[in-house]
A and B are shown apart, each in its own frame.
Chain A
Amino acid sequence: MHKVFSRPSSLKDKPFRYCPGCSHGVLHRIVGETIDLLGVRDRAIGIAPVGCAVFAYDYFNIDMIEVPHGRPPAIATGMKRSRPEAIVFSYQGDGDLAAIGTAEIVHAAARGENITVIFVNNGNYGMTGGQMAPTTLPGQKTTTTPGGRDVRLAGNPLRMCEMLATLDGPVYIERVSVDSPRNVQNATKAIQRAFKNQIEGRGFSFVEALSMCPTDWGLTPKQALEWVRNSMMKYYPLGVYKDIGSAQGVKGQERMGQV
């Protein structure tokens, strides 16, 4: 019999303890498959954030580290500069990356560190019980915006792909979603691309995945899908925000002195 589906060797044989409908499991799987596919399990090092995905270290069967909230890009920098042959990726939530760790991600991107960043935008702080995140939509209810996010009081959401794309450092920035089989396929391609770039020494690659947190959104998984499609995608359009590797690629690389 021909086996068409199996667990990637970069993941442990362990059931995910994420909530039903949570996107972390899907994204872990894509990352695990990508590491297998590109044959870099031997030299991959993953950085778990503080957030629901802190337990990534318990799911990936590769070398992993768990670090302070928001600092994975700095950790990744220290690792990659010390061990250029390592394939270093951070996996971060929106609180981790876009609030407490904004400085670290912006500067790692600006330096054009040759690392891969997976950014899980689920519009709230999953782990701590659903408080407002920097990515919480205007009007969205969370436990700390009980009347809906009032941008006059709580500020406006951050669009990280758009912000980082203004920098000269990154080579690849894309926003994806994992709400449908088709989008999962696109997300897979993007994540593969983000790792390939690093393997080929191209530089900083960033994939943002619009993700579901049905538990803290107080929605069923089905309603949560609708929220991603009808609300999040409007504010956070999917697509490629920067891609120096391809079309105008070589030029961008030369500018960064990284060829």
Chain B
Amino acid sequence: MPKVLITGNEALAEAAVRAGCRRYFGYPITPQNEIPEFMARRLPEIGGTFIQAESELAAINMVYGAAAVGERAMTSSSSPGISLMQEALSFMAASELPAVIVNMQRGGPGLGNISPSQADYFQAVKGGGHGDYKLLVYAPSTIQEIVDLTVLAFDKADEYRNPVMILGDGVLGQMMEPVELPDITPKTVDKPWALTGAKGRPGKVIRSLFMLPGEDGALERQNYKMKAKYDRMCEHEVLCEMVQTDDAEIVLVAFGTSARIAKTAVHLARVEGIKAGLIRPITLFPFPEKIIAEIAGRAERFLVVEMNLGQMVEDVRLAVNGKAPVAFYGRPGGAVLAVDDILSAIHNCVHGKEPEKIYTGSE
């Protein structure tokens, strides 16, 4: 298949179209504007719907409506816009509606800046809205992976009847790489729950409110039903790349853009004779905790590298569960990590007396 040189944002949008997404609703925000702009051109050509919504609140609720009638629908935004969508994401998870949500993260908190960041990890993986729920979260680190995971995201959203998030960042959205865009026949999924009009049957209801008379305990039961789904995701959906972890004494853990940079640092460390390796979670929820726990049994130490003040590191520590020291190196506020800085963090870790110290970036 011939490769095309394309930005991450456009690759994602085209992959969504190929995965059968015909409904896109969004509100402009940098660094993901190429997605709505691409969809505004592309979807009308193929009988799809593009709407520039009046806000991210409206955009996600349009997705919600389209999902409820059985369509493959998506929205994309960046950090502040994703914050505005959290209420609807909680409702959609509770109502068991599939959809794909893209967050090309930027520096925060607040309006922050438009530089790439990974500071929305907690929001993405811990259920950023209210109540007990989870999104299935994919963290691509190349443009090809953006394409492949976008297609997978639509399938998994339908399979689990749950919103799925693709957590990228400004680097991944804006960067160009050669990719193969697969010719796929989108999976057609039976959606007996979708609202289609009550022809020849009683009316159907999609809801997240469970307080009718006689419904005592219904919400608790719904929560357990959702938990069973998240447990199934943990069982079957974990994706993770491992680089030279078999004999690694120091294991880096990083996702997305950080993982690309960390991978180079690991290779440079190997050249120096340091036995370094990398675990790259591709799904952030479900988290590859079993893999990390297993490697923690033989590695001497861990170094978590993120473009934030230390978020995924908490999940790594839980997975390692005291079996090895876990250090953190990261930079917040839209600062991109440098290979050299990661390498010196590796040096500090290997030789330093306080492996749990937080290493700050050199300015």
Q: Which residues of A contact B (CB under 8 A)?
A: 12, 17, 41-45, 54-55, 57-58, 60-68, 71, 74-83, 85-87, 103-104, 106-107, 111
Let me know if B197 and A71 touch, CB within 8 A. no
Residues on B with C-beta less than 8 A from A42 are 197-200
**Residues of B with C-beta under 8 A to A77:** 51, 58, 62, 65
B247 contacts A by Cβ under 8 Å: no
Query: Closest Cβ of chain A: how far from B87's Cβ, in Å?
Result: 5
Knowing that A63-B197, A77-B65, A107-B54 are A-B contacts, what are 4 other residue pairs whose CB atoms are under 8 Å apart, sorted by A's residue number? A65-B205, A81-B49, A82-B69, A86-B195
Q: Which residues of B contact A (CB under 8 A)?
A: 22-23, 25, 49, 51, 53-55, 57-59, 61-71, 73, 87-88, 91, 95, 195-200, 202-209, 212-213
The 6 closest A-B pairs by CB, nearest first: A78-B65, A43-B197, A74-B61, A78-B62, A75-B65, A78-B66
**Bound Cα distance from A194 to B40, whole angstroms:** 30
- Is there an interface contact between A44 and B68, defined as CB atoms closer than 8 Å? no
Q: How far is the CB of B343 from chain A (nearest CB, A)?
A: 47
Residue of B nearest to A107 (CB): B54
Q: What are the residues of chain A within 8 A of B59 when measuring CB–CB? A: 74
Q: Choose one: A12, A63, A106; the contact of B195 (CB below 8 Å).
A: A63
In the assembled complex, how far is the CB of residue B12 from the closest CB belonging to chain A, in whole angstroms? Answer: 20
Query: In the complex, what residues of B have CB within 8 A of residue A54's CB?
Result: 209
Complex Cα distance, B51 from A87, in Å, reads 20
If A57-B205, A66-B206 touch, does A75 touch B61 (CB 8 Å cutoff)? yes
- Please name all residues of chain A whose beta carbon is closer than 8 Å to the beta carbon of B57 when the two chains form the complex: 71, 74, 103-104
Whether the pair B69, A86 counts as a contact (CB closer than 8 A) is: yes
Bound Cα distance from A42 to B207, whole angstroms: 20
Given the known A-B contacts A79-B69, A83-B196, are A71 and B61 also in contact in the complex, defined by CB atoms under 8 Å? yes
A75: which of B68, B204, B212 is its contact (CB, 8 Å)?
A: B68
Q: Given A42-B198, A65-B68, A66-B206, decide whether A71 and B212 contact each other with a Cβ distance below 8 A.
A: no
Distance between A117 CB and nearest chain B CB, rounded to angstroms = 14
Closest to B64 in A: A75
Q: How far is the CA of A80 from the CA of B195 in the complex (A)?
A: 12
Across-interface contacts of A76 in B (CB, < 8 A)? 65
Q: What CA separation (Å) do A57 and B198 show in the bound complex?
A: 13
Residues of B with C-beta under 8 A to A86: 69, 195-197
Cβ-closest chain A residue relative to B197: A43
> Of A66, A85, A107, which contacts B207 at CB under 8 A?
A66
| Residues on A with beta carbons closer than 8 Å to the beta carbon of B213 | 17
User: Which of chain A's residues have a CB closer than 8 A to the CB of B196?
Assistant: 43, 63, 83, 86
Q: Which A residue's beta carbon lies closest to that of B194?
A: A63
Q: Chain B residues with Cβ under 8 A from A81's Cβ?
A: 23, 49, 51, 62, 66
Report the separation of the CA atoms of residues A68 and B55 in the bound assembly, to the nearest whole angstrom: 15
How far, in whole Å, are A44 and B195 apart by their CA atoms in the complex?
A: 9
Residues in A with CB closer than 8 Å to B206 are 64-66
B195 proximity list for chain A (CB < 8 A): 45, 63-65, 79, 86
Q: Please judge, given known A-B contacts A55-B212, A78-B25, A83-B196, whether A104 and B58 are in contact too, CB under 8 Å.
A: yes
Q: Which residues of A contact B202 (CB under 8 A)?
A: 61
Interface contact B199-A82, CB-CB below 8 Å = no
Partner of A58, one of B51, B95, B204, B212: B212
Q: Do B54 and A64 touch (CB < 8 A)?
A: no
Q: Which residues of B contact A57 (CB under 8 A)?
A: 205, 207
Look across to chain B and name the residue whose beta carbon is closest to the beta carbon of A77.
Answer: B62
> In the complex the two chains form, is B203's CB within 8 Å of A68's CB?
no
Does the CB pair B205–A66 fall under 8 Å?
A: yes
Across the interface, which residues of B come within 8 angstroms of A111, CB to CB? 51
Contact B198 A63 (CB under 8 A): yes
Report whether B55 and A78 are in contact in the complex, using a CB–CB cutoff of 8 Å. Answer: no
Could you tell me the distance between the alpha carbons of A85 and B70 in the complex, rounded to whole angstroms? 14
| Docked CA distance A58–B196 (Å) | 17
- The complex places the Cα of A86 from the Cα of B195 at a distance, in Å, of 9
What CA separation (Å) do A194 and B158 show in the bound complex?
Answer: 35
Using Cβ atoms and an 8 Å threshold, which residues of chain B touch A64? Answer: 195, 203-207
Shortest B44–chain A CB gap in Å is 12
A74–B197 contact, CB under 8 A? no
The one of B49, B54, B71 in contact with A103, judged by C-beta atoms closer than 8 angstroms, is: B54
B49 near A61 with CB under 8 A, answer no
Chain B minimum-CB-distance residue to A76: B65
Q: How far is the CA of A54 from the CA of B212 in the complex (A)?
A: 11
B69 touches A83 (CB 8 A): yes
- Shortest CB–CB separation between residue B302 and chain A, in angstroms? 40
Bound Cα distance from A111 to B68, whole angstroms: 21
